[in-house]
Structures are given as structure tokens and as C-alpha cells.
Amino acid sequence: MFTVIKRILDLAAGFSSQSHANLIQGMVFNVLKGFFMAGMLGAIWWAVEHYDNLNVGVALQCAGMLIASVAGQFICQYIVDIKMDAEGFHIFRDLRLRIGDRLKKAPMGFFSEQKLAAITTTLTTTVHQLEEFMTICMTGLSGGVAMAIIMGIFFLVIAPPIAGITFLGIAAGLAVLNVLLRRSGKATKDVLQAQEAMSDTVFEYARGMAVLRMNSTPNESLAKVKAAFEMKRAADERQEAAAQGLLKLYALMFNLASCGVLFTACALYVNGTLPLSWALTLLAAAFMIYGELIAANNGAFLAKKIGNELDRIDEVCAIPKQDTTNEPLVPENFNIELDHVSFGYGDNEVIRDVSLVIPAQSSCAFVGPSGSGKTTLANLISRLWDVDKGCVRIGNRDIREGTAESLMEYISMVFQNVYLFHDTVENNIRFGVPDATHEQVVEAAKRARCHDFIMELPNGYNTLVEEGGANFSGGEKQRISIARAIMKDAPIVILDEATSSVDPENEHELICAIEELTRDKTLISIAHRLNTVQNADQIIVLDNGQIVQRGTHDKLMQEEGIYRRFVELRQAAAGWKLG
């Protein structure tokens, strides 16, 4: 159980040597507090030793001992609070920041393989419980053990028979505690798993409420939520059942030992082996040590729980790191080249030996049936994933030669599903350039054709965006997203189905905003609408993860193939022709 203390100290050392030192100092003063508690026994012994000659002087001496003991305990406890409790807040703040930084640097494939609830539960519930229970565990274990050692040595010197009973009681209690830790190990893991499953189920229920209502099935899905709640309740109950009986037995061992000490001390006094002063002092000491050890059982039980939670933290902190270097990417220019690129999600290969060149300040459109690899190809260029084979170059530099963060300084992306943060409209626009002035934000909004509708909002640019942008239409969110990209002013722009869900009334404004965004930029667009691809400098037609056609609109319309069939089907469906 002391392994968990070492793990906590190692965790603290990973952030700073000062944090590590503060926790050790906190435990040292917690041990010193045990010595001051033992000092109270001196007052008892002195008072009984002078029982036949009690006077004001003896009373004052006893009072002085008690005052020194209480003052020492107070000072030590104050230092423990400063060194351990306060330091814990710093440690877990840094831990949250470290996990957030690792999440930022992880490949997107990591998130596709992990449940959002598992990450959320770790960052909130797990870290919070560690923050709450860490000090209880460390002070309980170090204080109880220190008191046992101090009093054990004291008993051994004064009355070896009582020391024998004391050590026997400690051994019996530790044996029970060892069984408790083994039994509670699986139960605490089950509680963590049930917590994650419950969070995942609740998130899914909340996110899918609109679909559930449209299909008249919220009650059926609520049954799944109730089942998750029941699973969490059952796991909590099993954890308590695994612990409570043994915790009572643990306390019983020390209570029985206390009775043994009481009987032995009385017997030693009766037969004249032990003076009354020492007999009473040893009785008080026995109850003091056992009281501390009984209180330490919470720390011991929490040690197993904390150990499992630290395991979970280690799993999250072991997020695969995408970057192999800390050097920034510095391209010579903004030509984009894909050289025999292949990529797959697990065993499912979705991009197969793709090679192409996109010259700087030119436009390239990816076209193809659903699932052909268009979005995946764009994600490989922006390094949301890393290629399995081949390489992606920007300005003659392999994009893996620098950090993913430095690469994104050169790329702006506008997605089909825009996410706006729960913040003001202005802060959403300046998200990529946090030090931008209000005037710069307004200028970007005007260029993105969203200034007018922003000014009609209740608080203009200070209007608070509801979660995910729920208080804006699809077209409005797209234009705010474009304003954000204009603000960033990156030389490469990737548009992923940016106009696919926009109504005709907003489409003209959105296309004008896109023209502003992409002027003099290298443009990669993924689109199903013909009017967004026909003017591209080159069109790449993908099918089953491979390039099957490439060229301009006019060239591809002269060839038999996917692109011409695609155009003809769209024209027939829409009842119009391209000029």
C-alpha cells in the first residue's frame, strides 16, 4: 500500500522538484505531529507520578506539556496543510494541463479509437478524486505508521509484554488490511469502468435527443441510461460490500489488542512489576496508537482506489505523440506534393498509392463518390493523421520534419460541420489570433459577409454563442468560421464540403465569403456542388482511395468516366446545365 505513496511522489517529481520536496516535507511534519501527540502522554505520566504530592507547580508543569503538545500539533498540521494540501492543487492543475497538451498533440486516430466519455471522466472525476483523496491517503498512512513505530519502541523499552501485544495487534490488523486491498482491487476498477460507461451513455442520449424524438424512441433509449445508472449503483455497492466488513474486522483487531493491553497493564501493576504512573501512561498510549491505526484504514483503503485511478491517468498520459521533433516546419514555398501516399484506419486501407502536385496559389478540387477518400486525403495534407507509406511535402519539406502545430500555422480549414465555442462571437472569430483588435475582427467579419447579421444580434459582437453555435443557422456559422479563417490569413485553405448544407439564400453570401478567403491562396476544396469545382485549376477524381481521373472541368467532360457521369447525374437531378 506504500507503493501508491511512491507513485504520488514520482508524479509530483515529474512536474517539479519543489512539488516533490513539498510533499516529502509534508509527510515529515505529519510524522513530527505524532511525536507531539505522544508528548501528551508525558503530562499524564508526570501528573500520576506526583499523585501523592500534587501542587500548583506540578499542575503548571503538566499544563505546559499539554500546551507544548497542542501547539506543536497545530504548527505541524498547518505546515502539512501548506506543503501537502495546497501543493496538491498545483500538482493536479499541472496534471490537467499536461493531459490537455498530450491530447492536443495526439493524432486524430487516437480520438476515433477512444470513447469521449473515457477521456472526459479521467479529466474530471478521476483527477478530482485523486485531488481530494491524495492527502487523506498520504497523511493517514504516514501518521498511523509513525505513531505505531514511536509507541512500539516506547512499549518495548518500558514493558516488553505490552509491546508484544501491540505488535501482535498491528500484525493482525495489517493481515486483514492485505485481504481488504486484494478484495477491493477489482471492485474499484469496476466502479471506474461503470462511471465511464454511464458517462458515455448519458452523452450519447443527450447528443442524439433530436433523432430519438423524431423516431419516437426516447423512452427506449432512456432504458439504456437507466441500465447504466443501475450498473454504476451495483458497482458502488460491490465496492462498499468488499470493504465494509473487513474494515470493521480491521478495527476489531485493534480494539481487542487494546483490551489485551488494558488487562496486561493492570496485571503488571497488581503484581508490582509496573508503577501506576507507567501503567496508566501505557494504557493511554495503547488507545492513542490504535486510534491512529484505525483512522489509517481509510488511507489504506484509498491507496488501492488511488492506485487504480493513477493507472487510468497513466493510460491517458500514454497518448501516442504525433511529433518526433520539437522543430517548427519552415517550407520553402507553399507547393503541396503527395508522393505515393497510402493510409488506412487499422487494417482498412482507404488511400492507395496517391501522387499529385498542387502548385502554390492554385486551386484543386477533390471529387468522388462517398467513401472514396476525399476527406481523408485533405486530413493527411493537414496532418490530422500521418501517412502509412509515402510522404506529404509542403514547400519541398516533409511535413513530419516539423511539429504538427507549426504546420497548422500555414493551413486554414473550413469544415462542413462548423463548431463554435461557448464564448462571444468576437472571441470565436479571433480564436486563431487571440491578440487581434476589435477593428481587425470587424474587418474579417465584413470580408466574410457576416458583419451585418452580427450587428443585428442583441449584443453585437459580444453576443454569447450557445454551445456548438445552436443560436445560429448553418450558413451563419459557416460565415463566422470563414471570418475566423480570414483572420488567421494562412497561405493554404482547405474547404471540406463548406457549402453542402447551405440554403440558396445564404449560398451567394457564402460563396462571396469563400472568394475573399481564398484570394491568392493555395485552395483545396471537397465539394459535391458543381459550381464549386468547375472553375478549379485541377480536379482530382477519387474512387476507392485511388486517383482515377485528373484534369480541368473541360478536359474531364470530354472523357468517359466518373466525373462526366457525376456531372450528368447532377444536371439531370437539378434540371440545369453548366454554361
Length of the chain: 579
Mean per-residue pLDDT of the chain: 80
**pLDDT of the residue at 339:** 94
Predicted confidence (pLDDT) at residue 499 exceeds the cutoff of 70: no
Does residue 345 share a domain with residue 286? Answer: no
The verdict on 342 and 265 lying in the same domain is no
Confidence at residue 113, expressed as pLDDT on a 0 to 100 scale: 46
Q: What would the pLDDT profile of 3-46 be if each residue is shown by its tens digit?
A: 777 778 887 887 778 888 888 888 888 888 877 877 787 888 88
Boundary-marking domain end, from 284, 317, 350: 317
- The pair phi, psi for residue 321, each rounded to 5°, is -95, 130
- CATH number, domain of 110, equals 1.20.1560.10
Contact call for residues 306 and 134 (beta carbons, < 8 A) = yes
Helix axes 504-518, 474-488, angle to 10 degrees: 10
Q: Helical H runs in 86-159?
A: 86-105, 108-113, 116-121, 127-158
SS3 172: helix
How much is the pLDDT for 304?
65
312: which 3 cell numbers? 487510468
Q: Parallel, antiparallel, or unpaired: how do β-strands 411-414 and 492-496 relate?
A: parallel
pLDDT in tens, 295-319: 666 666 666 677 777 777 777 777 7
Give CA separation, 494 vs 49, 92, 415, 429, in Å: 88, 38, 8, 17
Q: Are residues 284 and 404 in the same domain?
A: no
Contact assessment for residue 352 and residue 545, using Cβ atoms and an 8 Å cutoff: yes
Q: Residue 577 pLDDT > 60, yes or no?
A: no
pTM above 0.95, yes or no: no
Same domain, 313 and 351: no
The whole domain housing 463 covers 337-574
The whole-number pLDDT of residue 280 equals 81
392 band by pLDDT with thresholds 50, 70 and 90? very high
Of the two residues 131 and 394, the one the predictor is more confident about is 394
Does 357 fall in a domain?
yes
Q: What is the pLDDT of residues 534-576, one digit of tens each?
A: 888 999 999 999 999 999 988 988 988 888 888 887 766 655 4
CA distances from 108 to 93, 98, 114, 164, 387 (A): 25, 18, 10, 61, 12
Looking at the structure, tell me whether residues 101 and 235 fall in a common domain.
Answer: yes
Mark whether 292 and 421 lie in a shared domain: no
Q: Identify whether residues 95 and 188 lie together within a single domain.
A: yes
Categorize the per-residue pLDDT at 529 as very low, low, confident or very high, splitting at 50, 70 and 90.
low
**Domain containing residue 400: CATH number:** 3.40.50.300
pLDDT above 70 (res 184): no
Do the domain assignments include residue 327? no
In a domain, 524, yes or no: yes
Q: Are residues 309 and 381 in the same domain?
A: no
On whether both 311 and 342 belong to a single domain, the answer is no
- CA torsion, ordered 68, 69, 74, 75, to nearest 10 deg: 60
pLDDT of residue 246: 74
Least confident among 159-168, 359-368, 483-492: 159-168
Residues 504, 568, single domain; the answer is: yes
Q: Tell me: pLDDT of 59 over 80.
A: yes
* Per-residue pLDDT reduced to its tens digit, 325-358: 888 899 989 999 999 999 987 778 899 999 999 9
Banded pLDDT at 578 (limits 50, 70, 90): very low
Q: What is the model's pLDDT at position 212?
A: 60
In a domain, 221, yes or no: yes
Model confidence pLDDT, tens digit, residues 186-238 = 677 787 778 777 877 776 777 666 566 656 555 666 777 788 888 888 888 88
